[in-house]
Amino acid sequence: MREVGRESSPGPLGFPEPGPPRFESAADVRRRLEEIGYLADDGIAGVVHLADRLAKPVLVEGPAGTGKTELAKSVARITSSRLIRLQCYEGLDESKALYEWNYRKQLLRIQAQQVVGDGAGGGPGPGQPGPPAWRALEEDIFSEPFLLTRPLLEAIRSAEPVVLLVDEVDRVELETEALLLEVLSEYQVSIPELGTVRAERIPMVFLTSNSTRELSEALKRRCLYLHLDYPTLERERAIVLRRVPGAGQELADQVARIVRSLRTLELKKYPSVSETLDWARTLVVLGVESVDAEVAKSTLHVLLKYRSDLERAAKELSVAEADGSAGRGGSVPG
Amino acid sequence: MLDVLTGFVGELRAAGLPVSMTEAVDAAEAVHHVPLEDRQALKYALASTLVKSSAHWKAFETAFEVYFSVRTPQSASGQGQSAEGDGEEQGEEGQQGTEEGAGSGGGGGGDTLSAEELAEMLFRALLSANDAQLSALARRAVSRYAGMEPGRPVGGTYYLYRTLRNLDLDGMLRRLMARARQDAGGELTPLEERLARDEFQSRLDRLRRELEDEIRRRLVADRGAEALARSLRKPLPEDIDFMHATRQELADLRRAIHPLTRKLAVRLARKRRHGRRGPLDFRSTVRHSLSTGGVPVDPKFRYPRPAKPDIFVVADISGSVASFARFTLHLVYAISSQFSKVRAFVFIDGIDEVTRFFEGVEDVTEALHRINTEADVVWVDGHSDYGHAFTVFWERWGEEITPRTSVLLLGDARNNYHASQSWVVQEMRHRARHVYWLNPEPHAYWGTGDSILGEYAVHCDAVFECRNLRQLEHFVSELA
């Protein structure tokens, strides 16, 4: 079998050798992320730095809307890498994740061969190519021009630096996870007809999960684990200031404090960071300088998405009953 | 370093975290890449390699604080507060011996603050959110009030309790709120009031953490990391015993059950869809074969839709087993889409149907709350009487049990020496598809004292011990 791709030297004990460091230190990660507007905390920066040094994928878990996908995108930006994204869904299989043979093209190729064979008139007869011809054909149709690369293989084969994002990995079935294992630990893909494709430069890999199910031990073991929770008050305030143009100190502070209060309640769905940002933007568009009960009441539905949550929040924040809160949606742009 | 790390990994395993060999190797590898003097970085490096579930974070944090806190934080904070540090050390020496008399002894020491002064300084530190001051004061408060005795094999909860009792944090919160109102010039709007309260509450929580850290540091210095870690070991949320959970643990459980139900629902839905392969779907196969020129490359199958069971939950909600009943109802209702019908009955000595509370309600917690307040479950004296409750159940609802019904009986079968009326369970079994009994008591206690589980058990299809979320989840997923 032919060996595709240049061999990257496996390190001691077969560990993949990490390339030249992308970051100097965790602080460096943090600074560079901040430059492009992603405010990381010590944990995030530390794990990203380690992932680079240990050449291990990062499994990012946490509630929806806390910036899991954004983290991968931001890391791609600061390392000026191409982001390759594999969106997981139920029923994802090898042919969508790794590679697929372009069988339509292969069929066409075979038919073309037959036509050519008939035209020449020689050979053993139509439709029955002799053994040597068949072998040549087989070599031919199982070669690179007939290979459709899918995200995982593409990330491995890419000559330029890439960041691979495997989004919502908890959506695939337990069995399908196994597909990822070879890629994640060895950074290689085995194609029976072609041989093993190894990564020239180990890509940074991020897997995100909304923890709708436990991931398998095998997968977890191969990854560094990062739990992204709702940010602290200070960080959320900083995020609002950074990401919402036009939001003043006071507004950001109030927004962050109200959101923190909401998260202490027992709600079905807690306001996420992205919803906090939406809310802050809404307030800026409405020209609100400081949030009072009235304003909060009429815009709470940007933050909370269940009627029971809205009612409870309105009650708990001692805001008068938010009746017909759905009807007020019209007053808010965006 | 390697020794400490090995000990630490051992401790995590002992606390119930699944740490594999490779993960330990990764951790050792990761430690090389972080500056060792940066404790926070070390913590995250270890966490990312060793802890692979957010539910285990708390156990990790406790172990980490114990194993890696001995020197660094004390010397760091000691430098910042060196002016006060000396006097304080003295006071500490004097007080560690005297137990309850710590207050008076400290007062006489001269360089220690009086109780009022300490409270006043604490108040100011809380008001201005001065963190450095807060941790310095936390150290003083511990010296003064905790009355720690060297060598006692305790986890420190008692010391914390004693310190907190003396500091009166509730009173502190009231004072802080009063001050906030004053500053605002009289009255706060309800929203401001709420925000101010949450802010102060978070600062008080911080103080409490400082106190805990301080006590732990002293305990580590006293007894060594390993011994302390052992007494601090707490069960993971999924292993907490329903019947003996503290209030804090119950809150943890309530938080843990929500993601659990979501996972369970997703898993069951998938199982239903992919459980069995049905017969070939000819039409679909031919349709898909068109793209391969009529060659049926990809055969399609019909998936059978298995019938969903009916569920009757009959739960004892008297004192000791109430929280168990609540969690079970919560779990069953959270995945009610997996059943064609769920009906719930609760009893103590009288019995009442509570299905109506769950109808049209999005929020299971709300419904559970209404059960506690509105259900009519007391017949005579409010002590469990399984016999009477079952008899009434049979008379009123027995007819509605069908061969598709699974009946879940929940309780510890402690019948206060009333008649068991176990014939009801026997009858149920004749009519229903399955009758299961879930008991929150450990297996060893079954049938002891006034527990008459044995009399019911012979008529049930199976009896399960359900002491924690793990066991409960397992049962429920088998059921659907």
Q: What is the ipTM of this complex?
A: 0.78
Looking at residues B227-255, what average pLDDT do you find?
A: 73
Three-state DSSP at A59 gives strand
pLDDT per residue over A300-333, tens digit each? 888 888 887 888 887 777 643 333 333 333 333 3
pLDDT value for B340: 77
Flag if B52 and A225 touch (Cβ within 8 Å).
yes
pLDDT value for B272: 62
pLDDT per residue over B339-367, tens digit each? 778 888 888 888 888 888 777 666 667 77
The distance from CA B269 to its chain's CA centroid, rounded to whole angstroms, is 26
| Assigned domain for B290 exists | no
- Report the residue from A42, A221, A257 with minimal CB separation from B44: A42
* Tokens representing residue B285 in the block: 């196969």
Q: What is the DSSP string of A164-224?
A: EEEETGGGS-HHHHHHHHHHHHH-EEEETTTEEEE-SSPPEEEEEE--SSPPPHHHHHTSE
Flag if A292 and B48 touch (Cβ within 8 Å).
no
* Interface check B22 vs A, CB under 8 A: yes
The distance from CA B381 to its chain's CA centroid, rounded to whole angstroms, is 32
* Residue B30, min C-alpha distance to chain A (Å): 7
Looking at residues A27-47, what average pLDDT do you find?
A: 90
* Residue A260, min C-alpha distance to chain B (Å): 8
Task: Answer with the one of B50, B68, B86 that is the final residue of a domain.
Answer: B68
| Among A125-129, A193-197, B315-319, the least confident range | A125-129
Flag if B54 and A292 touch (Cβ within 8 Å).
no
- Report the residue from A56, A293, A306 with minimal CB separation from B190: A293
If asked whether residues B164 and B262 sit together in one domain, one would say: no
* Residue B346, min C-alpha distance to chain A (Å): 25
* Tokens representing residue A298 in the block: 């009429």
Sign of CA dihedral A251, A253, A254, A255: positive
| Among A20-29, A188-197, A305-314, B369-378, the least confident range | B369-378
Q: Which of A296, A285, B366, A288 lies closest to A304, judged by CA?
A: A296
Cβ under 8 Å to A: B residues 71-130:
none
| Assigned domain for B199 exists | yes
Mutation pick from A17, A185, A210, A221 vs chain B, by most beta carbons of B within 10 Å, is: A221
DSSP 8-state code for residue B398: G
Q: Which residue of A has its CA nearest to B31?
A: A50
DSSP 8-state code for residue B146: I
If asked whether residues B206 and B322 sit together in one domain, one would say: no
Flag if B362 and A53 touch (Cβ within 8 Å).
no
* Interface check B297 vs A, CB under 8 A: yes
Q: Which of A56, A53, A319 lies closest to A187, judged by CA?
A: A56
Is-contact A148 A102, C-beta < 8 A?
yes
The amino acid sitting at A53 is R
Flag if B362 and A56 touch (Cβ within 8 Å).
no
The amino acid sitting at A320 is A
Task: Answer with the one of B22, B50, B68 that is the final residue of a domain.
Answer: B68
If asked whether residues B55 and B162 sit together in one domain, one would say: no
Flag if A26 and B34 touch (Cβ within 8 Å).
yes
* Interface check B238 vs A, CB under 8 A: no
Residue B91 has pLDDT above 50, yes or no: no
Flag if A53 and B23 touch (Cβ within 8 Å).
no
Find chain A residues with C-beta within 8 A of B45's C-beta: 46, 50
| Whole-angstrom distance, CA of residue A290 vs CA of residue A299 | 13
Find chain B residues with C-beta within 8 A of A233's C-beta: 202
* Residue B195, min C-alpha distance to chain A (Å): 7
If asked whether residues B39 and B110 sit together in one domain, one would say: no
Looking at residues B65-79, what average pLDDT do you find?
A: 55
| Assigned domain for B64 exists | yes
* Tokens representing residue B246 in the block: 């503290």
If asked whether residues B47 and B120 sit together in one domain, one would say: no
pLDDT value for B410: 84
If asked whether residues B339 and B414 sit together in one domain, one would say: yes
Q: What is the DSSP string of A150-171?
A: -HHHHHHH-SS-EEEEEETGGG
Flag if B47 and A43 touch (Cβ within 8 Å).
yes
Find chain A residues with C-beta within 8 A of B292's C-beta: 103-104, 107
* Interface check B274 vs A, CB under 8 A: yes
| Assigned domain for B230 exists | no
Over chain A, what is the mean pLDDT? 80
Q: How confident is the model at residue A76 (pLDDT cuts 50, 70, 90)?
A: very high
Flag if A292 and B362 touch (Cβ within 8 Å).
no
Mutation pick from B17, B50, B52 vs chain A, by most beta carbons of A within 10 Å, is: B52
Looking at residues A163-176, what average pLDDT do you find?
A: 86
Three-state DSSP at A90 gives coil
Residue B22 has pLDDT above 90, yes or no: no
| Whole-angstrom distance, CA of residue A194 vs CA of residue A138 | 12
If asked whether residues B337 and B463 sit together in one domain, one would say: yes
Flag if B54 and A316 touch (Cβ within 8 Å).
no
Residue A179 has pLDDT above 60, yes or no: yes
The total number of structural domains in chain B stands at: 3
Residue B83 has pLDDT above 90, yes or no: no
Residue A241 has pLDDT above 50, yes or no: yes
Flag if B54 and A107 touch (Cβ within 8 Å).
no
| Assigned domain for B293 exists | no
| Whole-angstrom distance, CA of residue A17 vs CA of residue A11 | 5
Q: How far is CA B150 from CA B74, B98, B139, B185, B449, in A?
A: 19, 11, 17, 49, 41
Mutation pick from A52, A106, A266 vs chain B, by most beta carbons of B within 10 Å, is: A266
Flag if A43 and B20 touch (Cβ within 8 Å).
no
If asked whether residues B262 and B160 sit together in one domain, one would say: no
Residue B386 has pLDDT above 80, yes or no: yes
pLDDT per residue over A103-155, tens digit each? 888 888 888 877 776 544 444 444 555 567 777 887 888 888 888 888 988 99
- Report the residue from A107, A226, A264 with minimal CB separation from B48: A226
Three-state DSSP at B403 gives coil
Is-contact A8 A199, C-beta < 8 A?
yes
* Interface check B247 vs A, CB under 8 A: no
The amino acid sitting at B264 is L
Q: Which of B53, B68, B57, B63 lies closest to B1, judged by CA?
A: B68
If asked whether residues B129 and B183 sit together in one domain, one would say: yes
Alpha helix locations (H) across chain A?
Answer: 26-35, 42-54, 68-78, 94-97, 103-120, 131-141, 151-157, 174-186, 217-221, 233-243, 249-264, 273-285, 293-299, 307-316
Burial tier of B11 (Cβ tally within 10 Å: 0-12, 13-18, 19+): buried
Q: Which residue of B has its CA nearest to A171?
A: B266
Is-contact B287 B319, C-beta < 8 A?
no
| Assigned domain for B236 exists | no
* Residue B341, min C-alpha distance to chain A (Å): 23
* Tokens representing residue A141 in the block: 């149709």
Q: Which of A276, A238, A244, A255 lies closest to B195, judged by CA?
A: A255
Of B373 and B176, the structure prediction assigns the larger pLDDT to B176
Q: What is the DSSP string of B31-70?
A: HTTS-TT-HHHHHHHHHHHH---GGGHHHHHHHHHHHT-S
Beta bridge mates, B436: B408, B462
Three-state DSSP at B292 gives helix
Of A47 and B169, the structure prediction assigns the larger pLDDT to A47
If asked whether residues B343 and B437 sit together in one domain, one would say: yes
Residue A208 has pLDDT above 90, yes or no: yes
Give the side-chain half-sphere CA count within 13 A for B288. 12
- Report the residue from B20, B40, B191 with minimal CB separation from A292: B191
| Among A192-201, B212-221, B253-262, the least confident range | B253-262
Flag if A62 and B48 touch (Cβ within 8 Å).
no
Q: What is the pTM of this model?
A: 0.70
Please tell me the total number of residues recorded for chain B in this structure: 480
- Report the residue from B49, B199, B266 with minimal CB separation from A224: B49
Alpha helix locations (H) across B98-239?
Answer: 102-108, 115-128, 131-141, 157-167, 169-183, 190-223, 225-232
* Tokens representing residue A225 in the block: 């684990």
| Whole-angstrom distance, CA of residue A326 vs CA of residue B386 | 47
Compute the C-alpha angle B425/B427/B429, nearest 5°. 70
If asked whether residues B320 and B459 sit together in one domain, one would say: yes
| Whole-angstrom distance, CA of residue B230 vs CA of residue B10 | 11
Phi then psi dihedrals of residue B265, to 5 deg: -60, -45
| Whole-angstrom distance, CA of residue A317 vs CA of residue A258 | 9
Query: Tokens 């008649």 — which residue?
Result: B419
Mutation pick from A102, A225, A298 vs chain B, by most beta carbons of B within 10 Å, is: A225
What is the extent of the structural domain holding B58?
A: 2-68
Flag if B362 and A213 touch (Cβ within 8 Å).
no
If asked whether residues B318 and B440 sit together in one domain, one would say: yes
Q: How far is CA B33 from CA A14, A53, A202, A272, B27, in A?
A: 20, 7, 18, 32, 10
* Residue B82, min C-alpha distance to chain A (Å): 28
Sign of CA dihedral B457, B329, B385, B401: negative
Flag if B266 and A233 touch (Cβ within 8 Å).
no
Q: How far is CA B288 from CA A108, A262, B73, B178, in A?
A: 18, 50, 66, 73
Mutation pick from B20, B33, B209 vs chain A, by most beta carbons of A within 10 Å, is: B33
Residue A207 has pLDDT above 90, yes or no: yes
| Whole-angstrom distance, CA of residue A42 vs CA of residue A36 | 17
Flag if A103 and B292 touch (Cβ within 8 Å).
yes
- Report the residue from B48, B54, B202 with minimal CB separation from A50: B48
Residue A58 has pLDDT above 90, yes or no: yes
Where is B422: in which H helix or E strand? none
Q: Which of A321, A326, A283 lies closest to A304, judged by CA?
A: A326
Query: Tokens 């997996």 — which residue?
Result: B338
| Assigned domain for B240 exists | no
pLDDT per residue over B137-173, tens digit each? 877 777 777 777 766 666 667 777 777 777 777 888 8
Residue B389 belongs to a domain with what CATH number? 3.40.50.410
Residue A206 has pLDDT above 90, yes or no: yes
* Tokens representing residue B311 in the block: 């569920």
End-to-end CA distance of chain A: 57
| Assigned domain for B436 exists | yes
Is-contact A220 A226, C-beta < 8 A?
no
Is-contact B335 B428, C-beta < 8 A?
no
Neighbours of B156 (CB within 10 A): 20
Find chain B residues with C-beta within 8 A of A264's C-beta: 198
Task: Answer with the one of B13, B38, B68 that is the final residue of a domain.
Answer: B68
Looking at residues A34-49, what average pLDDT do you find?
A: 89
Is-contact B150 B222, C-beta < 8 A?
yes
pLDDT value for A333: 36
Q: How far is CA B143 from CA B100, B106, B152, B231, in A?
A: 12, 9, 16, 22
* Interface check B33 vs A, CB under 8 A: yes
| Among A112-116, A180-184, A266-270, B226-230, the least confident range | B226-230
| Whole-angstrom distance, CA of residue A265 vs CA of residue A191 | 52
The amino acid sitting at B393 is F
* Residue B293, min C-alpha distance to chain A (Å): 9
Mutation pick from A261, A306, A317 vs chain B, by most beta carbons of B within 10 Å, is: A261
pLDDT value for A117: 62
* Interface check B256 vs A, CB under 8 A: no
* Residue A215, min C-alpha distance to chain B (Å): 10
Over chain B, what is the mean pLDDT? 76
The distance from CA B16 to its chain's CA centroid, rounded to whole angstroms, is 15
Looking at residues B73-82, what average pLDDT do you find?
A: 40
Is-contact B215 B146, C-beta < 8 A?
yes
Residues 6 or more apart in contact with residue B122 via CB below 8 angstroms:
B134, B137, B141, B167, B172, B207
